[in-house]
Amino acid sequence: MKNNSLRLGGQALPEGILIKGPIFTVIAYRTENEIETVSIKWGFKVVNQLKTIPFLRGLITIVETISLSLKSIFVMAEITDEEVNTDSVFFKIIIGLMFIIVMIFTIGLVIFIPKLASNGLVNLLNIKVFLSTWIELLIRFMLFFVYIYFYRFFLIGKKMFKYHAAEHMAIHAFEHKKKLTINNLREFHKEHPRCGTAFLAFVFIYANIIFHTLVFDVNFLFMIRLFISLFVISLTYETLLVGWKSNNLIVGKILNFPGFLLQKITTIKPDDSDLELAIIATKKCVELHKE
């Protein structure tokens, strides 16, 4: 695959930096004295075809991203603990269960917990029902930003936010056809328009607009709220695609702004050692896609 057609993505992991291409994913991590890499073949023809279908591709992408994150965490566990076998049936069951738990937690945090909390306050304090949607809106934003902000102050959070910035800067350099060196990476912003943080930002924006608009008896059936949540995910992805494809135009800058703003919190200026990890992971991923 030619470099100019290769689109890379990345993730920060607790123990390293992940760089993902359409077929291969590479994780770079540190041992005591050196940097090691592990490669995962992670590309499915059927999935890639489904990702070309409007509105469906957003759901496919979020499922793929969460699955890859869980797989990567277990791969790192296998490296540090020889008793973990990522090819076992047990491992695959655990991955599946963790995926379900993550999805339930995410949907609950964004949709259901704020609603239940606002209903509880309305009943407890005898607040007028029409104010419940405003209370739900406030709770949703508080949960989201408090969680992200305080995560920065934990050691693992600070490290991952540095990794997050480093993988952005490496991908920037690759996309601008710059040689992958620490000095070259320093030329670029730690925010990136295709970051998954932008996805979270727009999910919250759309969720708040849609659920705040539905002021009639908002005690929806579970399946109705779930369906709307899936629609929000799809709409978010389509919006971001417009922003990514028009990055240098005014419409792109407007659409990318919420994501950039949130990335001010979720990225921290990386050290040279963080950039070195990102460089090695990116180089290895590019090499694998040349073969």
Is 104 part of any domain? no
Is 66 part of any domain? yes
Which pLDDT belongs to residue 281?
Answer: 98
Which contiguous run of DSSP H or E holds residue 273?
A: helix 272-290
User: Would you say residue 209 has pLDDT above 90?
Assistant: no
Average pLDDT score over residue span 94-104: 60
Is 125 part of any domain? no
User: Would you say residue 171 has pLDDT above 60?
Assistant: yes
Which pLDDT belongs to residue 109?
Answer: 66
pTM score, two decimals? Answer: 0.80
Average pLDDT score over residue span 174-199: 93
Average pLDDT score over residue span 250-265: 89
The more confident residue out of 222 and 128 is 128
Nearest of 39, 71, 42, 69 to residue 288 by alpha carbon: 39
For residues 252 and 245, is the Cβ–Cβ distance under 8 A?
yes
Which pLDDT belongs to residue 119?
Answer: 77
Average pLDDT score over residue span 201-220: 67
Q: Which two three-digit tokens encode residue 76?
A: 């790192």
Is 226 part of any domain? yes
Range of the domain at 23: 3-84+157-290
Torsion of CA 33, 85, 289, 59, to 10 degrees: -120
How many domains in the chain?
A: 1
User: Would you say residue 37 has pLDDT above 80?
Assistant: yes
In DSSP notation, 51-79 reads TTSTTHHHHHHHHHHHHHHHHHHHHHHHH
Is 91 part of any domain? no
Average pLDDT score over residue span 217-244: 78
